[in-house]
Amino acid sequence: MPRPIRATIHSPALAHNLAVAQKHAGAAKIWAVLKANAYGHGLLRAAEALKAADGFAVLDFVDALKLRSAGIDKPILMLEGFFKPEDLPLLSRYNLTPVIHNVAQLEMLEKVTFVGKMDAYLKVNSGMNRLGFTVDNVRLAWNALEAHPGIGEVTLMTHFADADGEGGVTAQLQWFNELTQPFDTAPRSLANSAALLRFPDETRGDWVRPGIMLYGCSPFLFKTAEDIGLKPAMTLSSEIVAVQNLQAGERVGYGMTYEAAQEMTIGVVACGYADGYPRHAPSGTPVLVNGQRTGTVGRVSMDMLCVDISNIEEAYIGTPVTLWGEGLSCDEVARAAGTLSYQLLCALAPRVPVVEVAAGV
Ligand SMILES: Cc1ncc(COP(=O)(O)O)c(C=O)c1O
């Protein structure tokens, strides 16, 4: 007898969101970013729904292998490249495209022989200061890759730190262009979702790399997913499993942080932080009970959370509750909890049963 919680993945919404990305991308090709189990949506399920993408970007070799084992022969971009010399023959064998972002990787490339040629991405640090070659070594990296007999096409890549924020992309774009000016003719890949949506003309290059928008969430604080035309691809839902009537002054949950100001009724919902719901979501975080909007009360516990159902029509044990997704954007819930939809989606716990809806949007 399973708990009533479940995540519903709307595959047509994934396909729809990809079409939105394609519209913005124009002639540029699309890497659908599938890292972190496709932002919690399921690697193979998302790959199938996003099969119109030109390639898939992942982090882990096992994910790349799962895609290949499922018969996917599109390009696969390894976003952090490789970690050990012994990874190189595997990349070559499975026709994976590594991102090369540091000198240690160049040294490994010099040491290991592998059969055939693999394409590579040369990552330039244009200001985010996380991964990538800098002004000191970008030319060295380019020369090493160009001269390497096992490397095919080299694409220049960078990643924006603030494409969704005040900083925008101007400074990074300018520095990237300066650093790569000597190798001007190489293809390029710059844009994440925010850059693609906000600065498409400047950043689309030859390949774009949308992630969050494919899953129906907005990369922006100032624009909702709906404004962008995106549809939620994951709905986390559950049911009320207990009802409590409180008198004024009675308190709720661990730490007794919430006190009823007047008589009220609360529903106890089968969803907690062990399911991936954020523990730090404060009282008042939005939730839908029987399709009607209300808020959480008290602390989220491991397996349960409480919601105010005083003014909800038809709220009993068994009444459906939407934690996020259709009718309640994950972005809004995340914001109330002081985080981002990225984190909520990726945190969906393996114990939550997943149901796929393959038709309708
Ligand atoms: C290198 C790289 N490109 C693209 C993406 C996709 O970003 P977003 O989900 O914001 O579209 C990510 C995700 O963090 C990334 O690390």
Alpha-carbon distance of 146 to 138, in angstroms, equals: 12
Alpha-carbon distance of 111 to 148, in angstroms, equals: 11
Residue nearest to atom 5 of ligand 1 (CA): 192
Mutate to test the pocket of ligand 1, among 33, 164, 214 (most ligand atoms within 8 A of CB): 33
CB 38 within 8 A of CB 70: no
Q: How far is the CA of 159 from the centre of ligand 1 (A)?
A: 8
Segment 11-45, tens digit of pLDDT: 999 999 999 999 999 999 999 999 999 999 999 99
**Would you name the residues annotated as active-site residues?**
35, 254
CA dihedral 106, 110, 113, 119 (to 10 degrees): 40
Alpha-carbon distance of 157 to 103, in angstroms, equals: 16
Residue 156 host element (H or E): strand 151-157
Alpha-carbon distance of 179 to 186, in angstroms, equals: 13
Instruction: Give me 107's structure tokens.
Output: 């040294």
Atom of ligand 1 nearest to the CA of 31: 4
Give the pLDDT score at 40.
Answer: 98
Within a 13 Å sphere around the CA of 233, how many CA atoms are in the beta-carbon half? 32
Alpha-carbon distance of 217 to 327, in angstroms, equals: 13
Q: How far is the CA of 207 from the centre of ligand 1 (A)?
A: 13
Evaluate the CA torsion angle 147, 152, 155, 161 in order and state its sign.
negative
Give the pLDDT score at 361.
Answer: 58
Q: How far is the CA of 195 from the centre of ligand 1 (A)?
A: 10
Atom of ligand 1 nearest to the CA of 33: 6
Alpha-carbon distance of 30 to 44, in angstroms, equals: 17
For tokens 């640090």, the residue is 125
For tokens 């932080």, the residue is 273
Mutate to test the pocket of ligand 1, among 59, 78, 157, 159 (most ligand atoms within 8 A of CB): 159
CB 280 within 8 A of CB 238: no
Give the pLDDT score at 360.
Answer: 65
* Separation of CA 301 from chain center: 25
Q: How far is the CA of 57 from the centre of ligand 1 (A)?
A: 9
Which residue ranges of the chain lie beneath pLDDT 70? 360-361
Give the pLDDT score at 359.
Answer: 79
